[in-house]
Every structure is written in structure tokens, then in C-alpha cells.
Amino acid sequence: MASSSSFLSLSEKPDRNLALLDDYEMEERDFDPNHKSGYVAVVGKPNVGKSTLINQMIGQKLSIVTDKPQTTRHRILGICSGPDHQIILYDTPGVIEKKMHQLDFMMMKNVRSAAINADCVVVVVDACKMPEKLDEVLAGVGELKDKLPTLLVLNKKDLIKPGEIAKKLQWYEKFTDVDEVIPVSAKHGHGVDDVKDWILSKLPLGPPYYPKDIASEHPERFFVAEIVREKIFLQYKNEVPYACQVNVVSYKSRPGAKDFIQVEVVVEKNSQKIILIGKEGRALKLLATAARLDIEDFLQKKVFLEVEVKVKEKWRQDEGLLKRYGYGGQIQVF
């Protein structure tokens, strides 16, 4: 995992001159000439299983997963490395047709940027839903540059009958302009290796862009905030989770004692703050406990977690705040 001070613009992929590898020895850049490295944009509508697919490919949980749509907000960079390859995956927010806030516009801008910077594109669709043309699935993404290699992943195959899978597979092969269609169950890991093999067949030869022992370039505090946000989605209903922004205000490593983490949850209305806190603070305490346990599992260390709720009216419409929160294509460190 990258250090808590790492910072990288996600609006551009790293230069092909290995600039990102300067901070560690690469044996004088002596790499396998058959080594493959590249960027993959994973796109699709909300709640189709993009994050679950990426978590399976990487082998650990990086992107939060709930049964609510539009859970992923940031363009999360996951790194899947092997002896002869490095696959760099962008887990993008679900494509939004109706944009209600400035936040929605900025998230979709990040989706388009991910697709532009990719070497190939993986489009994920829900096998349980009626088939759609590719331009309908990708409405809001824009035209993909240079006819990028495109894979359509028919996810959640475990939820429908084999005969239905065959029919939908045939439909997508006939009516979408993609290179291949692969049915998978990302939840159970079925077909994920086939997706990985397809990606590797499309990536260019080249050295790794990142150290092989990291799973993401994001700082640890970014994932701490994401874990808290996931627990909000799981614990609260209706609009409340969507109105919440989670920021790590302070992260102090304390040798010989629990690390101290201070988190703020920003909402738009006082009524939302009241719901988050709950009667006598019980709801917030439940949230903090659930988040702390997952954070400790993620960090592999004990932590003291302090959660505070603040109100900032219409933060989802405030472009300045949104950029500060990392929606301008950069992950900010608070």
C-alpha cells in the first residue's frame, strides 16, 4: 500500500518513462521483454458489479460494495501484478443518465477520463436485466478513442438459468460492437480468470509502472474513508448515504499504542446529522464500531476511531469543495 503522503493526479496515466519507478530499484530497468503492462477502464451502469469484479481480480477488497447503486464515487486505481504482467484497473463510478448534482457531472468526467487513458475497456452489464445496446450502456461516457479493444462482461450469471445466459450472450454478440462477451459471476469468482486472460491478450508489452507489491496507489487514509462510507451505506436508508462525504481529518501512528484516526462525515442538512447520530448517539456509535473493525482488518493493526458529523449545505453542488474532496481527478490528503 502506498504511504499516507502519496498524491497522484488521476487525470493522466503515468509517463511511459517509468517515472513512478524512480523511488525503488528496478535492477537497472532490466525487465522481461515479454512482460505486459497497461490500463483498463471498467465501466458500466450503477450496481452491475464493477467493484466486485475488480476486488476479485486484485484478490483483496479495495472498492466498497453494497446493494445500493452509485456506491463508487472516485475512480479507484487497483493494481493486479504477476511475474509477467501488471494490470492497472480503474474502477469507475456507475454511468449516470440523469445528473442531479455537480458531484454527478464531476464523477462522469472522471469516467470519461479513465476511458480515454485506457489501453482497453471492460464494460460490465447485469445479466438479470434486459439487454441494451452499447451506446445505451455507455451513455455519458462519450466516444472511446481509436476503437479500443472492448470486452463485455455479462455479470451475475449465477442468478439466471443457463438457457437465459446463452440467449443474452447471443444477443450481445450480435447487437453490440465488442471484441468478446464473457459471462461471469463476480461475486463467486466464476469466469474472472477468463476476463483476466482477455485483458492480458490486449495489453502492450512493457515494464511495470508500479512496484509489484502494492495493490493501489491510493494512501491508506483514502481506504479508511471508503470503509466508513461503506458502513454508512449499509446502516442507513434512503437519501442519507448519498448526502454523506467522509474525510480523514487526522491519522496518527502511535508506536506501542493504537493508531489514532479522526474522521468527519459531512452532510447537507441538520436533519441528516440527527439521523446519523441517532438517539443518544447510538447510531453513530454502531457505525464507528463497524467501521473500526473493518479498518483494523484492512490495516492489520488496532486503531482508535473518532467520528464527527458536520453540516455543509449543498456540498454536492460546491465545485471548490468537490475538488478539495478529490472529485476533480485527484485524491486529496487532508
Per-residue burial over 220-244, b = 16 or more CB atoms within 10 Å of its CB, e = otherwise: bbbbbbbbbbbbbbbbbeeebbbbb
The CATH number assigned to the domain with range 220-324 reads 3.30.300.20
Report how far Cα 70 is from the mean position of its chain's Cα atoms.
11
Task: State the pLDDT at residue 17.
Answer: 40
The CATH number of the domain covering residues in 19-202 = 3.40.50.300
Give long-range contacts, CB 8 A cutoff, 24+ apart: 23-31.
24/211, 26/207, 29/207, 31/207, 31/208
Element (H, E) at 125: strand 120-126
- Do residues 208 and 35 touch, judged by C-beta distance below 8 A? yes
Q: What is the pLDDT of residues 30-54, one digit of tens each?
A: 668 899 999 898 888 888 988 899 8
pLDDT at 202 (0 to 100): 95
> Which cell numbers hold the place of 134?
452499447
pLDDT in tens, 63-95: 666 665 555 555 667 889 999 999 988 877 655
- Predicted model pTM: 0.69
Q: So where are the chain's domains?
A: 19-202, 220-324
Structure letter (DSSP) for residue 313? T
- Within 13 Å and on the Cβ side, how many CA atoms surround 86? 21
| Mean pLDDT, rounded, for 130-158 | 79
- Residue pair 77/10 in contact (Cβ under 8 Å)? The answer is yes
How many angstroms separate the Cα of 54 from the Cα of each of 32, 58, 131, 260, 281? 26, 6, 22, 30, 35
Task: State the pLDDT confidence band at 187, using cuts at 50, 70 and 90.
Answer: very high
Mean pLDDT, the chain, integer: 81
Mean pLDDT of 179-201: 96
Helices (H), strands (E): how many in the chain? 9, 9
* Sheet of 259-267, strands arranged across: 245-252, 259-267, 303-311
CB 5 within 8 A of CB 218: no
Q: Is the pLDDT of residue 124 over 50?
A: yes
